[in-house]
Structure 1
Amino acid sequence: MAEDRPAPEFDRELTELPPDLRWREWMRRIEAVLFASSSPVPREDLARVVGQAVSVDLLIEDLSVDLEGRAFEITQVAGGWMFRTRVAFAPAIRAAADVGGQLLDLSDFDVAVLAAIAYHQPISRDGLKDIFGKDINRDLIGRLYARNLIGTGPRAPRRGAPYTFVTTEQFLVAFGLDSLRDLPDREQLEDAGIVVEPPQVSAS
């Protein structure tokens, strides 16, 4: 039986390498972490694999340049970075790869409800009814939950304290947003009929 040995200390600084090779190794470490992760990796996690005074942003920039001409790229979403296939290759992937479970497969109305939740969250089913003028089908809400695009928010501060809906990190990832601040201009969506303001309720 092999003796228990302490794991070797992780060398972040790589001081024994020449500067150019050191930088290249840090880039490769970030590439490996992003490749292995199925969710966005925040800056503070990437900083654990490079030198203490090294700029993760600059390494990401250089790695992005290094990946030019490849089928995938680094994108900043949901407060971190991840690899994504370039849009130009989407038809090839749909034609040859089994990615059915990864596709959103949402109808226009599903997207409209999702957009309403994104802009008005936390929002209850009654709030969605006010926006669309009809009850929102539970199956539709279930589809958004199943794809982890929405979650349960705080209870609404009114009689019955109904649950509310909020968007998730997966929503940001699915639509390539770094944060909710990156949502398209609301007026443009309203002009397209996707999102409308809830009716104003009088105080009387």
Structure 2
Amino acid sequence: MSDLAQTVREVEALLFAAASPLTVEDLAGRLPEGADVPAALAELGRQYEARGVVLANVAGGWRFQTAEDLAWLMTEERDEPRRLSKAAQETLAIIAYHQPVTRAEIEAVRGVQASKGTLDVLLELGLVRMRGRRRTPGRPVTYGTTDAFLEHYGLATLGDLPGMAEMKAAGLLSLDLPADFAVPNPEAPALDEDPLEGEAPEFHVDFLGEDEPVR
């Protein structure tokens, strides 16, 4: 058996057993020194491209998942995902497309004052994280999306986010966002914010609160 064929088998075994996507670095760290992980992934992807389970690049890592055209077979065997409220969907969309963003900026775009639990729910679900503090009076916290957000929506990077027109056509967004909203570059540092120093989020989830108009 060739070295590449053996590496393909090893990568296949690791991905099959993994609970979450594995990066090239994760795989290389578990394999013998000199193993050609990119070539093994390419070959593994070729072998699985027409099968019921395919190799997918998600959130910067690799995993096996059901082929898209067979997803309907799983509907009776999987738990229904928790549905976000309209306010939470709009808030998540604003954060995804305009991060890093503060709560006040989110409210300004939506035109309503967010209820107490909207951001807390997104933080609790792991779709959003606190990134840092804006270098402005009051030092407000800024928010951004997480790898769990990318994994949940099947995205490799934020650059794969659909356009606004696509989101509205799919019924995922009814909010009219400004025309200058663009997909952020996840690699670009935010020069107007400082990292959080040992601060942990506190959740105060209130599902009964209603959004109020900003006055």
Instruction: State the match for 1:126 in structure 2.
Output: 104
Instruction: State the match for 2:29 in structure 1.
Output: 48
Which of 27, 52, 65 aligns to 2:46? It is 65
Q: CA deviation at 1:175?
A: 1.3
Paired residues, what number?
A: 177
Instruction: State the match for 1:88 in structure 2.
Output: 69
Seen in structure 2, the aligned counterparts of structure 1 residues 142 and 177 have a Cα distance that, compared at 3 Å, is same
Seen in structure 2, the aligned counterparts of structure 1 residues 155 and 170 have a Cα distance that, compared at 3 Å, is same
Counterpart-to-counterpart distance in 2, 1:135 and 1:107: 15
**41-50 or 103-112, larger mean C-alpha shift:** 103-112
The alignment's TM-score, normalised by the length of structure 1, stands at 0.73
Instruction: State the match for 1:176 in structure 2.
Output: 154
Q: CA deviation at 1:114?
A: 0.9
Amino acid at match of 1:99: D
Over the matched positions of the two proteins, sequence identity in percent amounts to 29
Secondary structure class of the residue paired with 2:162: coil
Runs of 5+ unmatched residues, structure 1? 1-17, 200-204
Secondary structure class of the residue paired with 1:154: strand
Amino acid at match of 2:104: D
Instruction: State the match for 2:211 in structure 1.
Output: none
Query: After superposition, what is the alpha-carbon deviation per residue over 1:8-36, rounded to whole angstroms, capped at 9, x for unaligned?
Result: xxxxxxxxxx42xx333211211121122
Structure 1 or 2: more strand by fraction = 2
Counterpart-to-counterpart distance in 2, 1:195 and 1:179: 24
Q: CA deviation at 1:170?
A: 0.3
Amino acid at match of 1:168: T
Counterpart-to-counterpart distance in 2, 1:39 and 1:168: 14
The alignment's TM-score, normalised by the length of structure 2, stands at 0.70
Which of 59, 65, 89 aligns to 1:78? It is 59
Counterpart-to-counterpart distance in 2, 1:67 and 1:132: 43
Counterpart-to-counterpart distance in 1, 2:158 and 2:27: 23
* Greater Rg over alpha carbons, structure: 1
Secondary structure class of the residue paired with 1:39: coil
Secondary structure class of the residue paired with 2:75: helix
Which of 29, 49, 63 aligns to 2:10? It is 29
Structure 1 or 2: more helix by fraction = 1
Q: CA deviation at 1:112?
A: 2.4
Indicate conservation of the 8 Å contact 1:125/1:135, yes or no. no
Seen in structure 2, the aligned counterparts of structure 1 residues 87 and 53 have a Cα distance that, compared at 3 Å, is same
Counterpart-to-counterpart distance in 2, 1:190 and 1:91: 23
**61-70 or 146-155, larger mean C-alpha shift:** 61-70
CA RMSD of aligned residues (A): 2.7
Counterpart-to-counterpart distance in 1, 2:29 and 2:51: 26
Instruction: State the match for 1:13 in structure 2.
Output: none
Counterpart-to-counterpart distance in 2, 1:41 and 1:194: 35
Runs of 5+ unmatched residues, structure 2? 181-215
Runs of 4+ in 1 over 3 A off after TM superposition: 48-55, 185-195
Instruction: State the match for 1:157 in structure 2.
Output: 135
Counterpart-to-counterpart distance in 1, 2:71 and 2:167: 25
